[in-house]
């Protein structure tokens, strides 16, 4: 199985509105472009929001998400339909490593970038191991009970940051509540593509309410569009060189564990939808994602991962052609080269961003519980119960351990603690079960 061995995409028209388009099939050019726009919009909300929460340049992150998706396309030989967008798993560790306040540009951005590159390197190495040995060892090391606990711990670790970010004034706090309600109403009372874009659409409504309250009623600070008017339509984004700080790298690198579990679950979902076995491409997908993360971090962008939002779009449209993601990537690259677009993003009020953060961080925590439910994890087993309980408190309490000159933060201790406790306690449970069986046989 050689690299860059691309399929021969067969043309398939969906003008009738029915039929499935397989990964190795293609739509006419116009329909491919339209589907690409839909996928670009689907990834837009989180790909813009996550860099803002970390103090990164969202314009650059969008640009690198497009370039990373193209890299992923080539590494996987054009056989895995996925888009790489900004990963939420980096938010907590980047904030912890840099002490970012949540407002404006992160002054310690270069330190975070070194950690993101280290994470991508570990992720890439895991990908090469998977190419050689398969994925079974990953599933044994990180079963759903572990990945669910770690994901939930990340969400809980971020909770104090979200609340603190909207506690500056009474108006900010209430505006955060309004933002949460806007997103919630979109999530419940809309359908189709609008519902899939609940964060983005909710932010737009919240911004409109904020503008009305500040401009008409004189509450809070009005939105300033001066930078938008002055920004050019096309131009290069600001690049930042990484700094390799050992402590930050130790803190951020463990996110590779989350990315592996996330990508593994996404590709299995894609395999279920398409009816195609994605296991032969799993290692190459990890390598592509890891290299894209390293490339993004090397210039100032965020770490990337495959996107559930795009998987949802595929589930609705039944169009799995990998060429659609090439179109989406090109659209993202064009947006990334527009300073005016970036300036518009920066006009989003801090209170609105804070309200969206509450929702996003909560959704991260709930995603962990969702992993347990989908995989029918049994929390009645004492081993699972203890491991989950300890992991959640380590993450939520931001429990840190000093290792020589390094300090491992709450997310790191939660991740490694979950893996170690599961390995120890699950082995004990297995031995106890075998002992019970032997006694019964006597």
Judge contact between 392 and 149, C-beta under 8 A: yes
DSSP classification of residue 220: S
Q: Residue holding tokens 């993450």? A: 395
Which pLDDT does position 408 carry in this prediction?
66
For 84, the 3-state DSSP assignment is strand
Which pLDDT does position 4 carry in this prediction?
60
pLDDT digits (tens, 9 = 90+) for 190-205: 776 566 667 777 888 8
Which pLDDT does position 433 carry in this prediction?
52
392-416 burial, b at 16+ Cβ within 10 Å, e below that, comes to bebbbebbeeeeeeebbbbbbbbbb
Q: What is d(CA 96, CA 93) in angstroms, rounded to the nearest whole number? A: 5
Which pLDDT does position 409 carry in this prediction?
67
Rounded mean pLDDT for each run of 10 residues along the chain, 442 residues in total: 67 60 79 78 71 84 90 89 83 80 78 92 93 82 82 78 74 86 85 67 85 80 77 81 85 83 76 78 90 92 80 72 88 85 75 78 77 83 88 84 65 80 74 51 52
Which pLDDT does position 432 carry in this prediction?
53
Closest to 155 (Cα-Cα) out of 395, 394, 407, 417: 395
The domain segmentation of the chain, as residue ranges, is 22-224+231-379
Which pLDDT does position 93 carry in this prediction?
79
Which pLDDT does position 437 carry in this prediction?
46
């Amino acid at each position: 199985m050689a690299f860059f061995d691309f399929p021969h995409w067969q043309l398939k028209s969906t003008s009738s509105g029915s039929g499935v388009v397989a990964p190795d099939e293609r739509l006419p050019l116009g329909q491919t472009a339209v589907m690409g726009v839909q996928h670009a919009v689907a990834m837009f909300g989180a790909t813009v929001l996550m860099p803002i929460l970390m103090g990164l340049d969202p314009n650059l992150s969008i640009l690198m998400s497009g370039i990373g998706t193209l890299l992923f396309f080539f590494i996987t030989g054009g056989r895995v339909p996925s888009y790489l967008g900004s990963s939420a798993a980096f938010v907590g560790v980047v904030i912890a490593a840099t002490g970012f306040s949540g407002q404006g540009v992160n002054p310690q951005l270069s330190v975070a970038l070194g950690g993101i590159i280290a994470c991508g390197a570990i992720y890439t190495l895991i990908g090469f191991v998977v190419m050689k040995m398969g994925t079974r060892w990953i599933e044994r090391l990180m079963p759903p009970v572990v990945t669910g606990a770690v994901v939930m711990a990340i969400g809980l670790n971020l909770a104090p940051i979200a609340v603190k970010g909207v506690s500056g004034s009474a108006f900010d706090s209430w505006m955060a509540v309004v933002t949460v309600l806007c997103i919630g109403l979109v999530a419940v009372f809309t359908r189709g593509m609008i519902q899939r874009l609940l964060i983005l659409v909710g932010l737009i409504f919240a911004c409109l309410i904020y503008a009305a309250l500040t401009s008409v009623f004189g509450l809070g600070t009005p939105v300033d569009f001066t930078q938008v008017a002055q920004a050019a339509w096309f131009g290069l984004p600001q690049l930042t060189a990484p700094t390799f700080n050992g402590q930050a790298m130790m803190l951020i690198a463990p996110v590779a564990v989350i990315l592996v579990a996330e990508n593994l679950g996404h590709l299995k979902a894609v395999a279920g939808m398409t009816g195609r076995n994605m296991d032969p491409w799993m290692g190459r997908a990890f390598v592509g994602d890891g290299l894209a993360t390293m490339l993004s971090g090397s210039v100032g962008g965020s770490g990337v991962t495959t996107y559930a939002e795009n998987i949802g779009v595929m589930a609705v449209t039944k169009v799995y052609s990998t060429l659609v993601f090439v179109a989406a990537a090109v659209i993202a690259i064009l947006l990334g080269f527009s300073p005016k677009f970036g300036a518009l993003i920066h006009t989003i009020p801090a209170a609105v961003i804070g309200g969206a953060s509450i929702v996003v961080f909560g959704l991260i925590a709930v995603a962990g519980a969702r992993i347990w439910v989908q995989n029918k994890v049994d929390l009645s087993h004492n081993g699972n119960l203890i491991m989950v309980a300890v992991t959640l408190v380590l993450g939520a309490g931001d429990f840190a351990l000093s290792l020589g000159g390094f300090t491992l933060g709450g997310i790191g201790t939660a991740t490694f603690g979950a893996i170690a406790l599961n390995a120890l306690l699950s082995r004990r449970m297995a031995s106890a079960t075998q002992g019970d069986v032997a006694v019964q046989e006597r």
